[in-house]
Amino acid sequence: MIAARGKVCFLILFGLNFLLVGIMEGLGEECGIAAVSLPKGMKDPPFGGAAHYLYKMLLQQQHRGQQSAGITTYNKKRTQLIDTHKGIGMVNEVFRSHHLEKNKAILSEYSGSRGIGHVRYATSGREDESSAQPFERHHGRLRKWFSFGYNGHIANFSELKKQLLGAGYYLVRDIDTELVMHFISKAMVGSQKTAIEDVFGNLSETFDGAYCISYINADGLLVVARDPVGIRPLSYSNEDGLFMAASESCALTSCEAEKVRNVAPGEMVLVQDGNLEVKRFAKKRNVSHCMFEWVYFSNPASVIDKVSVYEARWRLGEQLARNEQLELNGKDFVVVAVPDTAKPAASGYAHETGLPLMEGLIRNRYVGRTFIEGNNRANIAREKYNVNKAAIEGKKVILVDDSLVRGTTGKSFIAMLRRVGKPKEVHMRVSCPPIKYPCFYGTDMSTLQELAAPKHMDAEEVRTTRIDVSEKAIEGIGKEIGLDSLAYQNIAGLKKAIGLPEESGGLCMACLTGKYPTDCGKKLFCKALDEFKKNPGKKHKRVI
């Protein structure tokens, strides 16, 4: 994520409302998408029609993006056949939910029979309304007048940008969403109609990276599609003619969907005039699902590719406990979760060890996400958590977190825990293995220099992409952030805990192993390694 962080005016207006994240040092992932099509001739549709459902689904995916939100709806009775409402801020702010009349006015104006929605956390571009999604492209021909929302990151953005500029195109916002819009438009050039599966097939041959797309045009065609590698999740339901799709299955079940399916990698779902078709638009490839969706990103109530997020996180905690080297007892030790995403793992750990699970940390739900404020992450972390001294004073605390990425927040956070809570010892157990390498598929960590683990690994460890991190490196990380001991999940434990069915494909663990599932990911990793060799201690420089 390249966007600048923490503009003062933005924080004053919106900073107090960011929710749903642990202490995970500013790690974020780009976006969530939604789509809905109402049954043909639906009796008594809810006020706002498609806008009503999109608003509800976006609320359930707020954790995937807090910088902006928006919807595009289709209404054949409107002059603007497709029309877009979007803005900076949380879903409730963009839809003015705290002002009943203004909220009703928005839902009424954008009422429709179908539509798409989006919540954004930027991995590139600016934090302004022009970069908010969905992106709408006006055109005189109905099939070329379209809007879309996008979740992921195009790894070969730089070379595709050069290609567009060489062909006389221009990128105003310099973001991959704009690039996607241009390539969709290019595939429709000419008076002869191009089948939508061919349009998306062209994208699959052009793009390298992660992308789930929701799309609607002024002909009333609604499409959701998942990239052929399947890095990011996408679910849908179709019950009694009500079609819904979203990045998170819980967004569908919150709207009372009962039969939720996954969009398979390389497949698209098309809905028009009440008819639904599932089509393959891309050749089958080696599927590689992002392991971080189960570890951290997704709502614990979601199911991704047949695996419950909550159960996977619980099992991760159990695996941590089985690997425990300390001699534990219920008299001296307590387990404390870093709120909120680590709670299932902490519960699994406590259950397996028989230790009491205590609320040693209470999250202030009215303080912003730490990554929003960039250089002020440590200050925000201190404001964000209240230490519950009664639960941990004089105890040996096993602090369970889902991941340790940069370590920038950890030091001040642990110091606060010791100062206020007066524990006897603080030990951290991390349910994800050490993050050693960059991600080029939509997660906010694109360089080696910004990560905690490579700073403590020797050069040979980094270059050879060994799976295991030395005890010396782990001890160094622990000492840097002020722990009595630090232990991570191992790769075998991660794979076992997630338990992805064989037919669903494999896991993308590139940030743990250095093995990237796409060609451009491999090339960018080589660049990142070269940069690290030249400047291992230098402030990180993005390679995308």
Q: What is the CATH number of the domain that holds 238?
A: 3.60.20.10
Q: Are residues 274 and 320 in the same domain?
A: no
Q: How does pLDDT run across 31-57, given as a tens digit for each residue?
A: 999 999 999 888 889 999 999 999 999
CA–CA distances in Å: residue 333 to residues 317, 343, 353, 419, 474 = 16, 17, 10, 18, 22
pLDDT the model gives residue 369 = 45
**Residue range of the domain that includes 182:** 31-285
Residue (of 316, 318, 320, 292) closest to 304 by Cα position: 292
Residue (of 64, 26, 19, 68) closest to 444 by Cα position: 26
Q: What token pair was written down for 34?
A: 């939604």
pLDDT the model gives residue 542 = 47
Q: How does pLDDT run across 101-116, given as a tens digit for each residue?
A: 999 999 999 999 999 9
pLDDT the model gives residue 228 = 96
Average pLDDT in the 346-353 region? 98
Q: How does pLDDT run across 148-192, given as a tens digit for each residue?
A: 999 999 999 999 999 999 999 999 988 889 999 999 999 999 989
Q: How does pLDDT run across 216-255, given as a tens digit for each residue?
A: 999 999 999 999 999 999 999 999 999 999 999 999 999 9
pLDDT above 80: residue 122: no
Distance of alpha carbon 111 from alpha carbon 120, whole angstroms: 22
pLDDT the model gives residue 457 = 85
| Segment holding 245, helix H or strand E | strand 242-246
Q: Which phi and psi angles does 149 have, rounded to 5°?
A: -120, 150
Tokens 């009595």, located at residue: 484
Q: Which residues are catalytic?
A: 31
Q: Residue-wise over 476-513: b if at least 16 C-beta within 10 A, else e?
A: bbbebbbbbbbbbbbbebbeebbebeeebbbbbbbbbb
The band of 465, judged by pLDDT with boundaries at 50, 70 and 90, is low
| 29 vs 141, residue with greater confidence | 141
The band of 469, judged by pLDDT with boundaries at 50, 70 and 90, is confident
Q: Are residues 411 and 346 in the same domain?
A: yes
Q: Would you say residue 296 lies in a domain?
A: no
The band of 538, judged by pLDDT with boundaries at 50, 70 and 90, is low
| 457 vs 366, residue with greater confidence | 457
Q: How does pLDDT run across 508-531, given as a tens digit for each residue?
A: 999 999 999 999 999 999 988 888
Query: From the CB of residue 76, how many other CB atoms can be counted at a distance below 10 Å?
Result: 11
Q: What is the CATH number of the domain that holds 363?
A: 3.40.50.2020
Q: Are residues 319 and 272 in the same domain?
A: no
| 377 vs 349, residue with greater confidence | 349
Q: Are residues 262 and 319 in the same domain?
A: no
Residue (of 508, 338, 376, 380) closest to 440 by Cα position: 508
In DSSP terms, 366 is beta-bridged to none
Domain count, the chain: 2
The band of 495, judged by pLDDT with boundaries at 50, 70 and 90, is very high
pLDDT above 50: residue 13: no
pLDDT above 50: residue 26: no
Q: Are residues 403 and 524 in the same domain?
A: yes
